[in-house]
Chain A
Amino acid sequence: MGLALSPVAARADGLDDTLARFVKDKFPESEKAVAELAAEAPPQGAAILEALGDNRLLYDPSSHVVAYRTATGAILNAKTGEAIAAGDAAAFKKVRINNAIRVAIQGAVGSLTLANPDPQKRVAAAQDVFRTRNEKALPAVEAQLAKEKDPQVIEALRLARAAITAGAESASAEDRLAAIATLRARGDQDAQNLIDQIAQKATDPRVKAAAASALSAIHTRLAMWTVAQDLWYGLSASSVLLLAAIGLAITFGVMGVINMAHGEMVMLGAYATYVVQLLLPPELQNWSLAFAIPLAFLVAGVVGVAIERLIIRYLYARPLETLLATWGVSLILQQAVRSIFGANNRLVTNPSFMSGALHLGGLEITTNRMWIIVLAIVVFVALQLVLRATPFGLQMRAVTQNRRMAAAMGISTARVDMLAFALGSGVAGVAGVALSQIDNVSPNLGQGYIIDSFMVVVFGGVGNLWGTALGALTLGVANKILEPIVGAVQGQIVLLIVIILFIQKRPRGLFALKGRAVEA
């Protein structure tokens, strides 16, 4: 008692009065004490309320000391936090509580954390209030709102206040309308659920109407975010398709042969990433892609040159047999990788800058997919530069347009073929690096993408890389938009039928080469 009497501060006296109410051990008194704790928010408040809620708050009827038992069993003085000797512990009795007090405690704990010095905790508390919509927390929310400086916390508090007011039948219609407007501005799934409840329960016609209109507005808004999210997924799928198909478009464009082992170039690129991850010391893991991309380009490019020099150049007049021979190559490469690395999936971990997700309004943007889009754009621009701004690119375009004429002008078509194949295969290897970040690395990796890549090339045509880009974009986005409507597999089938119908109109794709060389 001597401690309780010491004049620490004015608030301490208030705390003494409050604690004295617990000693009476009457429900109304305890409830008042809870309310006072919430209002005055002493530093010990949260611990006291928590103890009360858990039946751990004790009082000594003779000495009028209030204390609580901690999780470890020690008994601490509620006011000072000092331990109480085990001998005195026997004198303590529990402060009884009922449901009304439990509800009060819940609200009070929320409002106590609302005053927490850590802004993140305040936001979390406000969001908590938003979810529970405990009317008892309203005064605390209002109080905190009056003195709050942090804009993020203010936003969270305003939403919490709106959630309480909007649902409270006791509040005035004007207040509720304003609250609904605030919720409508928030416009996410939580707000939608809340307003939906209000729209069903509200008796005031104005409130009901406002809730209904807010509900439809949020519906529209959410639907738009869903579409945006689908578009994002589509864009992401397109970037992967573009990376996988663009190398194919180059080799197919220049030589008119389909490299069925193209998917295996992608697979080699993915395994190159895996090998880099294995070999790099931990401190360099975040830079793994800086090593993996050149290595993948090199490995796939070298294998590509080997295929061109050893097989394809002997089959130039026979494109269909090139298809079969390169299929044989793909079988051998798959089996070789299976023999070396095993048939199981290998896990490539994302570098830290590529993991996680961003939230943009209602959009969730996964970082690794964002970087793959960036990579696809970089690769596309780089290839365009090679094609447009280098002598090799000029020669490659000339051979694509008219091989014999190009040869007559002194271009070494054999050399262009070889380099084009190296380039196309190398780019496929880079695509493999990207795929390793989002997909399992397995010997069959390339198989999953090869048919889609062919579709992109068939759709986009080989006259121009823009055709490939547009083809990838169209197929990727269309696929993701169709997916929720007709299902994933049917979406692909629908696209296939659309492509077959499309080549009725444009048998050589969107960007076909013009000139007589095209008629084969």
Chain B
Amino acid sequence: MSAELDRIGLAFVAILAAAAIVVPALALATSPASPLHIPPYLVQLLGKYLCYAILAVALDLVWGYCGILSLGHAAFFALGGYAMGMYLMRQIGARGVYANPILPDFMVFLNWKALPVAWWGFNWFPYAMLMVVLVPGLLALAFGWFAFRSRVTGVYLSIITQAMTFALYKEFFRNDFGFGGNNGLTDFKDLIGFSLQSDATKAALFSASAIALILAYWAARAIVGSKYGKALTAVRDAESRMRFLGYRVENHKLFAFVVSAVMAGVAGALYVPQVGIINPSEFAPSNSIEAAIWVAVGGRATLVGAAIGAIAVNFAKTYFTGAFPEYWLYGLGSLFILVTLFLPRGLLGLVLRDREAKPVVETPALAIEEGADP
């Protein structure tokens, strides 16, 4: 990490920390008539962006620093979201349409008599939070262990991760899989006793998202800046050489992949109470690829750039899908093409001075050394 990148990161963290205090204050303490007032829907929207930013930081950790373009990170995000959603569903209790104190509405509707094992314990917040971390983490561990051990790399790995999220996407669509089918989980009432409808809870969730983003950035930065992080970067640039030097390449990759998946899961868990619903479409392969473009727009291997890219692209998405819904896909598609062609180092690459910016693309020189086809 260059000093300049660090300074940008520090500034970003400072802005986030300030936002974590100022946004709730403006939302709660000012009157709706005041020009400084932030309406609750905007608080939620900003909180949503921050969750996407966490996902982007997680993806940048594996893509930017480890060369793993995961097209399945939406799966980890959604799994974290489902774990949170299940907790929120259990909190509804007898306030549901069917007023069943134990079973969520969709189970009553499907005429189920007992709570499936997978749902046990989710009425207990600490357990649910454990699952938010464990489920994406274990999936990443199992998946990565198989993939990295057999040296599945590059586009092969991208395709396999995409297939993984696609399989989950289809599985969660099924009603008898037990997670609400295509309707997903919704109609949430409250989170550890606080009503999700209240402005204070919304503001608190925004602050929590900002803090989570700071922590995710800080953790990723710590990993990247450590000796281990240097090895990770080396694996990205010359995997075979690292292997010949005696490094256990697969273990390095696996660690980064699992940490990244857990971050994505936490992002999903914070996302769900703010948008009020989680359904299988969160697993859609297109979501994962969109996350990759956030990272590319902001700048790969910058962490802070990824977060900025996520916020910028999603802001543009909110604006364009509202103003010109017909043209948003043209815009997004063009963004994919233009950024990869003309901005390989992203927005941050424009800002960073050239001498400090390291080439992060697979250069032909290295590829020749590795014996790869350019």
Contact = CB atoms under 8 A, between A and B. Distances in A.
Contacts of A508: 156
Nearest to B285: A451
A265 to B, nearest CB: 15
Contact of A496 (B167, B332, B362, B363): B167
A329 B296 contact: no
Contacts of B160: 458, 499-500, 503
Interface of B (DSSP majority class) = helix
Contacts of A404: 368, 373
A320 B360 CA distance: 12
A394 interface: no
Given A324-B336, A503-B152, A318 B344 contact: yes
Given A324-B289, A500-B147, A507 B69 contact: no
Given A311-B341, A325-B336, A325-B340, A320 B158 contact: yes
Contacts of A503: 150, 152, 156, 160
Given A258-B155, A403-B373, A492 B170 contact: yes
Nearest to B71: A323
Contacts of B63: 320
Contacts of A489: 170-171, 173-174
B166 A451 contact: yes
B370 A519 contact: yes
A335 B326 CA distance: 8
Contacts of B340: 315, 318, 321-322, 324-325, 328
Nearest to B170: A489
Contacts, number: 150
A126 B225 CA distance: 86
Interface string A302-328: 000000000100111111111111011
Contacts of A171: none
B372 interface: yes
Given A315-B340, A319-B154, A520 B370 contact: yes
Given A317-B363, A339-B326, A458-B160, A329 B337 contact: yes
Interface of A is mostly: helix
Contacts of B362: 317-319
A371 to B, nearest CB: 29
Nearest to B155: A258
Nearest to A457: B159
A328 B88 CA distance: 36
B146 A328 contact: no
Contact of A318 (B146, B156, B335, B361): B361
A380 interface: no
A292 to B, nearest CB: 27
Interface residues of A, number: 52
Nearest to B160: A500
A454 interface: yes
Given A328-B336, A492-B170, A520 B154 contact: yes
Given A324-B292, A324-B336, A504-B149, A454 B373 contact: no
A278 interface: no
Interface string A329-362: 1111011100100000000000000000000000
A339 B327 CA distance: 10
A42 interface: no
A318 B296 CA distance: 13
Contacts of A493: 167, 170-171
A459 to B, nearest CB: 11
A328 B370 CA distance: 29
Interface in B135-190: 143, 146-147, 149-156, 158-160, 162-164, 166-167, 170-171, 173-174
Contacts of B32: none
Nearest to B151: A507
B363 A314 contact: no
A517 interface: yes
A435 B77 CA distance: 34
Given A331-B332, A332-B330, A493-B170, A258 B374 contact: no
Interface string A488-520: 011011001001110111011000000011011
Contacts of B292: 324
A328 B344 contact: no
B69 A323 contact: yes
Contacts of B166: 451
A349 to B, nearest CB: 30
Contacts of B367: 317, 520
A450 to B, nearest CB: 9
A508 B372 CA distance: 14
Q: How large is the interface on B (under 10, 10 to 19, 20 to 34, 35 or more residues)?
A: 35 or more
B69 A328 contact: no
A108 interface: no
B322 interface: no
B240 interface: yes
B331 to A, nearest CB: 9
Given A324-B340, A507-B156, A256 B171 contact: no
A508 B157 CA distance: 11
A328 B334 contact: yes
B154 A320 contact: yes
A519 B69 CA distance: 18
B371 interface: yes
A345 B171 CA distance: 25
A473 interface: no
Contact of A334 (B296, B329, B335, B344): B329
A455 interface: yes
A332 B158 contact: no
B220 interface: no
Contacts of B285: 451
B17 to A, nearest CB: 32
B240 A519 contact: yes
Contacts of B344: 318, 321
Interface string A387-416: 000000000000000111000000000000
A315 to B, nearest CB: 6
A257 interface: yes
B53 interface: no
B333 A332 contact: yes
A258 B364 contact: no
Interface string A9-23: 000000000000000
B293 interface: yes
A499 to B, nearest CB: 8
Nearest to A506: B150
Contacts of A330: 333
A321 B363 CA distance: 13
Contacts of A323: 69, 155, 158
Contacts of B330: 331-332, 335-336
A489 B329 CA distance: 29
Contact of B336 (A327, A402, A501, A516): A327
Contact of B155 (A257, A316, A451): A257
Contacts of B370: 519-520
B155 A319 contact: yes
B298 to A, nearest CB: 14
Most buried by A among B149, B332, B372: B372
A324 B370 CA distance: 23
* Candidate in A329, A493, A517 with the most chain B CB atoms within 10 angstroms: A493
Nearest to A490: B171
A266 to B, nearest CB: 17
Interface string B14-31: 000000000000000000
21 contacts: A315-B341, A317-B363, A318-B362, A320-B67, A320-B69, A325-B336, A327-B289, A328-B335, A332-B329, A332-B334, A403-B373, A454-B159, A454-B162, A455-B163, A458-B156, A458-B159, A493-B167, A493-B170, A500-B160, A507-B151, A519-B372
Closest 8 CB pairs of A and B: A328-B336, A331-B333, A332-B333, A335-B329, A520-B372, A328-B333, A325-B340, A321-B340
Given A317-B367, A517-B371, 5 more contacts: A332-B329, A403-B374, A458-B156, A500-B147, A503-B160
